[in-house]
Amino acid sequence: MAESGGSGRGPPCLGAAAALRRWEQLRRRAATPWARGLLAVAAGLGLLYAVLRVPLRLRDGLAAVTMFLSTLTPKFYFALTVTSSFISGLIFVFEWWHFRKYGTSFIEQVSVSHLRPLIGGAENSPPPPAAFSAGDNDTSRQNMPECKVWRNPLNLFRGAEYSRYMWVTGKEPLTYYDMNLSAQDHQNFFTCDTDALRPSDTVMQKAWRERNPQARIKAAYQALELNNDCATAYVLLAEEEATTIVDAEKYFKQALKAGEMIYRKSQNCHSQSPQHEAQLRRDTNVLVYVKRRLAMCARKLGRIREAVKMMRDLMKEFPLLSMLNIHENLLEALLELQAYADVQAVLAKYDDISLPKSAAICYTAALLKARAVSERFSPETASKRGLSTAEINAVEAIHRAVEFNPHVPKYLLEMKSLVLPPEHILKRGDSEAVAYAFFHLQHWKRIEGALNLLHCTWEGTFRMIPYPLEKGHLFYPYPSCTETADRELLPTFHEVSVYPQKELPFFIHFTAGLCSFSAMLALLTHQFPELMVILAKAVLRVLWPVSAPSVLASS
């Protein structure tokens, strides 16, 4: 028993030891170079088999597809091409509409917004350029906002001009964004913290916040019932209820009488408390606004010398309010009088490097220099003998003006149609160009040859501006946000001028070509069905030369 039991336990131990010895020998042999080479050859043969197996299946699949396509009728090809043309046409129309409305391709925008972060493009993209890259040492200008909306110094009257335009044409000349900015301006100019002490001013404080014009007018009459000397109520009625300039002037004269009385009272007690100082600022704003609008009424009614005198007196009385740009009203009135020496005197004061520029400043300076040479200017003569010193100065002034606002020449040369200017403008934008050309086109036409000189020279500006536009020539680089802001300020029926002119995106060209090609195939398939079937079979032979002939022959 003992022997049999011992013999029964011995063999498993010997077998395990032998297996371990065999495994150790095999491992040592596998570590040799020839064994590694043999394994590499085996792996390569396995990979080759896997690679060659796929084309065999693809060939069978291509043969099946070719068999299916060869059995299709010309009606199927016609329906396929018509559907393809229709779908690509819809995509093309949508892409074109999106580009005209927003200035970008929808497909490109989606790919940049959603696909680029997935592939890591957002991390490698360069940072956007600063709003003002010129003048690195001037940190104050670098911190300025890229696009600032300004009050239009020559804005029209809502009741007497904007509303009459809407009654005649049925089109709304002002956008909601523009009117909302005006409401904010009125609240800043005509209200203060002490309005709660006076019932009439409390009513007017609510009136400026009303969106409905009739509600504002009704509130103005309520304020006059509480206080017959409420100047801001007369201002609102002059702006919105008066349907003619004569009626608006009557309201403003009543506002001037009440405003001067309130202003004198505020002057006597402005040093008593901060609340009285705030009230004095409000009363000063009301008085300046009323006098300026009265001067504009006189200008519109033909009393130009009276308007010039009122503007000069206003600028002398309140010299610190230069941010209201009253000098632009004065420039336009002096140009109407053809007092060019006085215009030059105003430009000498305000066309300074330390002061903000505007289209009125730059283009008026160009107009005065063009006036000296435009009557005798001829492009043929100038090309033969060269430009004189005065002509060079005029051309440089035009280039300077065009660089500041490149949208103006198209309106002055009547290459684009004008609309009523908005109540707010964006400097260097299309809205400023519309506002300038609306009032100054007549002054350019009055000077013989000025528009001809502008026509011959304005496009030369773009050869002087560095490209890409991250660098400016005489001014800071042209801001990139003007198109978006101008679309908010100008009415929808106006075609906004865009600078620099954007090229059509790739996908618009692609969808247009795809739509045209599909439509052409649909037409040919409808007119010549048998010929198109032969063409389709020929294309199949070119694409699949191995499997297609046998399948097509059998079919």
Contacts by 94-98, CB closer than 8 A, 24 or more apart:
95/505, 95/507, 95/508, 95/511, 96/508
Q: Please, how many CA atoms are within 13 Å of residue 100, restricted to the half-sphere of its CB?
A: 10
pLDDT tens, position by position, 366-389: 999 999 888 887 777 777 777 788
Question: How would you classify the pairing of strands 424-426 and 149-151?
Answer: antiparallel
Residue 429 structure tokens: 């934008």
**Boundaries of every domain in the chain:** 82-109, 156-324, 340-518
Q: Which tokens sit at 436?
A: 């300038």
**Residue entry with tokens 């002054």:** 443
Q: What is the mean pLDDT of residues 523-534?
A: 76
Query: What is the H or E stretch that residue 431 is in?
Result: helix 430-446
Poorest-confidence range of 48-52, 244-248, 265-269, 433-437?
Answer: 48-52
The residue-averaged pLDDT of 330-353 equals: 90
Strand-pairing partners, residue 151, are 424
d(CA 251, CA 237): 7
Please report which confidence band the pLDDT of residue 299 belongs to, taking 50, 70 and 90 as the band edges: very high
* Cα dihedral 386→391→395→401 (10° resolution): 180
pLDDT of residue 211: 87
Strand boundaries in 412-471, DSSP class E: 424-426
Q: How far is CA 499 from the centre of its chain?
A: 9
CB 196 within 8 A of CB 202: yes
Taking residue 73's Cβ as centre, other Cβ atoms within 10 Å add up to 10
Q: How confident is the model at residue 500 (pLDDT cuts 50, 70, 90)?
A: low
**pLDDT for residue 462 is more than 70:** no
Residue 137 pLDDT greater than 50, yes or no = no
Q: By three-state DSSP, how is residue 167 classified?
A: helix
Q: Which residue has the tokens 């300038």?
A: 436
Best CA proximity match to 394, nearest among 382, 405, 385, 406: 382
Residue 422 dihedral angles phi and psi, to the nearest 5°: -75, 170
- Identify which of 177, 238, 178, 231 has the alpha carbon closest to the alpha carbon of residue 200: 231
Most confident of 38-47, 86-95, 171-180: 171-180
Q: Give Cβ neighbours of residue 44 (< 8 Å, ≥ 6 apart).
A: none
Q: Are 374 and 447 in contact (CB under 8 A)?
A: yes
Q: How far is CA 540 from CA 69, 81, 537, 543, in A?
A: 9, 17, 5, 5
User: Quick check: helix, strand or coil at residue 151?
Assistant: strand
Question: Could you give the C-alpha distances from 158 to 207, 236, 384, in angstroms and in order?
Answer: 16, 10, 52
45-55 pLDDT, tens digit per residue, is 666 556 555 55
Q: Which of 442, 455, 434 is nearest to 370 (CA)?
A: 455
- Decide: helix, strand or coil at residue 98: helix
CA separation, residue 87 to residues 247, 470, 532 (Å): 58, 39, 22
Look up the CATH number of domain 156-324.
1.25.40
Highest mean predicted confidence (pLDDT) among 3-17, 59-73, 149-163: 149-163
CA 210/CA 8 separation, integer angstroms: 108
Which of 304-318, 448-462, 466-480 is predicted least confidently?
466-480
Backbone angles phi, psi at 550, to 5 degrees: -65, -40
> CA triplet 348, 349, 353: central angle to 5 degrees?
85
- Compare 175 and 34 and report the one with higher pLDDT: 175
**Residue 78 CA: distances (Å) to CA of 35, 72, 312, 533:** 63, 11, 77, 11
Helix (H, G, I), strand (E, B) or coil at 31: coil
Whether 520 contacts 46, CB under 8 Å:
no
Mean pLDDT along residues 41-68: 62
Q: Which residues contact 232 (CB under 8 A, 6 or more apart)?
A: 190, 201, 204, 223, 255, 286
Peptide bond into 129 cis (omega under 30): no
pLDDT at residue 1, as a whole number: 40
Please give the mean pLDDT across all residues of the chain.
77
Nearest to 186 by CA among 90, 316, 322, 293: 293
CA 385, 367, 345 angle in degrees (round to 5)?
120
* Contact residues for 371 (Cβ-Cβ < 8 A; gap 6+): 340, 447, 450
How many CA atoms lie within 13 Å of 432's alpha carbon, on the beta-carbon side?
26
Phi, psi angles (nearest 5°) of residue 425? -130, 160
DSSP SS3 for 109: helix
Specify the range with the lowest mean pLDDT, choosing from 72-81, 313-322, 433-442: 72-81
How many whole angstroms separate alpha carbon 410 and alpha carbon 404?
14
Question: What would the pLDDT profile of 151-160 be if each residue is shown by its tens digit?
Answer: 999 999 999 9
Average pLDDT of the segment spanning 57-82: 67
**Cα separation of 179 and 111, whole Å?**
36
* Residue that wins the pLDDT comparison between 292 and 519: 292
Task: Note the pLDDT of residue 56.
Answer: 53
Write down the pLDDT at residue 35. Answer: 59
Give the torsion sign (CA, 389, 391, 394, 395).
Answer: negative
Residue closest to 485 by CA, chosen among 426, 437, 419: 426
Residue carrying structure tokens 């991250």: 470
Cβ neighbours for 207, distance < 8 A, ≥ 6 positions apart: 215, 216, 219, 220, 223, 233, 236
Question: End-to-end CA distance of the chain, in Å?
Answer: 85
